[in-house]
Chains A and B, each alone.
Chain A
Amino acid sequence: MSTPARTPRRSGIRGGETASGWLFTAPMIILLGLFLVIPVLMALWVSFSDWNGRGSPFGGTVSFVGLDNYSALVGGGGLAEQDFGTALRNNAWYVLLVVPIQTMLSLLLAVLVNRQILRGRGFFRTAFYFPSVTSSVAITVLWLFLFSASGAVNKLLAFIGVNGPNWFNDPSGVLHNLLGAFGVETGPAALTGNTFLGISFWEWLAGPSVAMSAFILMAVFTTSGTFMLLFIAALQNLSGDVVEAAMMDGANGWQRFWRVTLPQLRPTLFTVLTLGLIGAWQVFDQIYTGTQGGPGKTTLTPAYLSYQAAFTNQAWGQGAAIAFILFVIIVVFTLLQRWLLAERGVSARRMRPYLPIPTSGGSK
């Protein structure tokens, strides 16, 4: 099999590398195959089957049901579709708020902490990063206490004269509440009458529930530190020359940040947005520990719904189908974002001011 011409020449200090190469990587390959590749293939089969958790999913009693599990979720008209739609709605609002807020906050923290004149940088970095090392379970327990009806957050709100909500027991949507404050209690018939994935458009536009908002704040609290570190590292890798040049050209601090520093941070921004997006679509631990999808299913997420369908309701095919749809959603969003943030060529018209001016000097 091996090419005869090359092998003898290789047998110096590179002798036997093929064998040891495979030997060294074998444990990892076996582990990844056994606990990642094979399981995914098994789950793919389960998502096309009617396995109910009894016996082996590959036994004779289990039959192939085609796309039944998937179609029940995206067009079945039943409870499964409604729950899936609700979970997607909840998680979509969560992503829509968490990803931009945590990205902006972590960038702000990085810029503030990275100031040369600042003393006690280490202290501030530690303070902002610490929530990131603690487990999601511990933070959720803490959050349940802080955001309880008579908890610290509501005490703080009462201090400034605001009557805080009963956070984790309040299923009302934030946007609906906002509209309610202006007297809009029910939506137009066009929105309430038509449905998508089993829930009306008016419900899609409810915004995150008050309970979900508490989880949104928690996500921002726990992840901003990690992303702050990524931004700090990127800021420190930037060379000062470009900023200095901009300074000589008379750009003020604000312009320097938006026109000079931020464009150079694009790769890090991409990393942070991608990691944020992938993480925000996978909300599970918090829901399992804190609310189990309640109140009123407004903190249900696809990840938790998938777990619940399989492990609690024994609807394994459906649970697996939800997991695969979630997988596709994450991949699509990542690709979409990659496309949106891609480095595009600058058009000739926009490039013109930057081209070398033919006459030297005096043109201004």
Chain B
Amino acid sequence: MSSTVKTRERTVSPSRRLRALSREQLPNRQVAGRSLLYAILIVLAAIYIAPFLIQVATSFKTDGDAASNPMSLLPQTWSTAAYERLFLNSDFPVWFQNSAIVTVFVTLGRVFFNSLAGYALARLHFRGRNVIFALLIAVMSVPGVVLLIPKFLVINQLGIYDTYVAMIVPLLTDAAGVFIMKNFFESIPASVEEQARIDGAGTFRVFWSIVLPMARPALVTIIILSFQGSWNELSHFIVATQSPELTTLTKGVASLASGQLSQGTQYPLKLAAAAIMTIPVAVMFFIFQKRIMNTTDGAVKE
């Protein structure tokens, strides 16, 4: 295309009008390309968003409406029956509470232990540091699903099966988080903490009141990852607990999906439960949107 423009310019170069014409054609082509780009993106975005819109819409439908109009985004009659049933007549509030408890403790614990270990590995010079680091890398490569039976065995052996301890403590193991913190601490200059050390502050003091406040960006990454990870965790709770009082949202909603609590399909109920369980991570996502979009690369860097 550009070559034809050139030849035209060369052959009729004295004519200014033609040259102006060819200059106008170029933007036209760009406009067409741009419209195509937008068209493709809008179609793709619609495909990605539509399922969630259908989910929310269906949760406000009656069972019959949901079955006969699965695609419509507006319920024929608005019904909050699914939500009433969930909150007033089921264990759903208990599930929500358990998920919240676990998520809060796991997130706090990971923030503390990850940064502690990450700081030591990045900054403190001690014998065995390299061995610990090598072990950390080795441990990171163990796929989670392989650990289902092993985790049950150790939880059972320790006598903590079916307790909050069994739900929370094993989830504190987070080699990837230590790795992220270590990388971050290595990237900030050591001069500040050295100044404090000369002033006589102890190692923990330096860590707690000087280094940790500086590490806020990395801590936010850890918070996001552990919040999302523990809120969405399913398999660990399957092997760590059995009693209904300790059921989390993921486990509870999974049991809903396979037909407990409901006769027939009851899609509005299931989709309402799924929608509510998505809200906390969605809120988290929108609060930290800027950071998530910028930090994932740092977080998963090889």
> What distance in Å separates the Cβ of A285 from its nearest Cβ neighbour in chain B?
5
> What separation, in Å, do the CA atoms of A339 and B132 have in the docked complex?
27
Contact of A20 among B157, B203, B275 (CB under 8 A): B203
Contact of A145 among B58, B207, B239 (CB under 8 A): B58
> What separation, in Å, do the CA atoms of A144 and B48 have in the docked complex?
16
Task: Evaluate whether A35 and B254 lie within 8 angstroms (CB atoms) in the complex, with A124-B41, A285-B234 already known.
Answer: no
> What distance in Å separates the Cβ of A123 from its nearest Cβ neighbour in chain B?
7
Whether B218 is near chain A, meaning CB under 8 Å from some CB there, is no
Tell me if A42 and B157 are in contact (CB < 8 A). yes
> What separation, in Å, do the CA atoms of A133 and B225 have in the docked complex?
10
Tell me if B124 and A271 are in contact (CB < 8 A). no
Chain A residue numbers with a CB within 8 Å of B125 are: 14, 17, 21
State which size class the interface on A falls in. Answer: 35 or more
Whether B264 is near chain A, meaning CB under 8 Å from some CB there, is no
Contact of A31 among B54, B172, B254, B293 (CB under 8 A): B172
- Total of A-B residue pairs, C-beta within 8 Å: 280
Task: Evaluate whether A27 and B250 lie within 8 angstroms (CB atoms) in the complex, with A112-B40, A141-B274 already known.
Answer: no
Tell me if B154 and A42 are in contact (CB < 8 A). yes
Bitwise interface map of B from 236 to 271 toward A, beta carbon under 8 Å scored 1, else 0: 001100000000011001101110000001010011
Chain B residue numbers with a CB within 8 Å of A290 are: 257
Tell me if B194 and A18 are in contact (CB < 8 A). no
> What separation, in Å, do the CA atoms of A122 and B290 have in the docked complex?
9
Bitwise interface map of A from 220 to 235 toward B, beta carbon under 8 Å scored 1, else 0: 0100011001100110
State which size class the interface on B falls in. Answer: 35 or more
> What separation, in Å, do the CA atoms of A290 and B257 have in the docked complex?
7
Bitwise interface map of A from 85 to 115 toward B, beta carbon under 8 Å scored 1, else 0: 0000000000000000000000001001101
Q: Across the two chains, which residue of chain B brings its CB closest to A51?
A: B153
> What separation, in Å, do the CA atoms of A361 and B253 have in the docked complex?
71
Chain B residue numbers with a CB within 8 Å of A138 are: 253, 274-275, 277-278
Bitwise interface map of A from 314 to 327 toward B, beta carbon under 8 Å scored 1, else 0: 00100110011011
Whether B102 is near chain A, meaning CB under 8 Å from some CB there, is no
Q: Across the two chains, which residue of chain B brings its CB closest to A27?
A: B113
B-contacting 9-mer, from A66-74, A186-194, A304-312 = A304-312
Which residues of A109-140 have CB atoms within 8 Å of chain B's CB atoms? 109, 112-113, 115, 117-118, 122-131, 133-140
Residues of B within 8 A of A (CB): 34, 37-38, 40-41, 44-45, 48-49, 51-52, 54-55, 58, 66-68, 70-71, 113-114, 116-117, 119-121, 124-129, 132, 135-136, 139, 141-154, 157, 169-170, 172-173, 175, 178, 194, 197-198, 203-204, 207, 228, 231-232, 234-235, 238-239, 249-250, 253-254, 256-258, 265, 267, 270-271, 273-275, 277-278, 281-282, 284-285, 289, 292-294, 296-297, 300, 302
Residue contacts A-B, CB under 8 angstroms, 14 given: A21-B126, A24-B116, A27-B116, A32-B175, A35-B169, A135-B234, A137-B253, A141-B270, A144-B270, A148-B265, A221-B51, A288-B234, A310-B148, A327-B142
> Which 10 pairs show the lowest CB-CB distances between chains A and B?
A21-B126, A233-B297, A39-B150, A24-B120, A135-B232, A138-B274, A43-B150, A28-B117, A282-B145, A21-B124
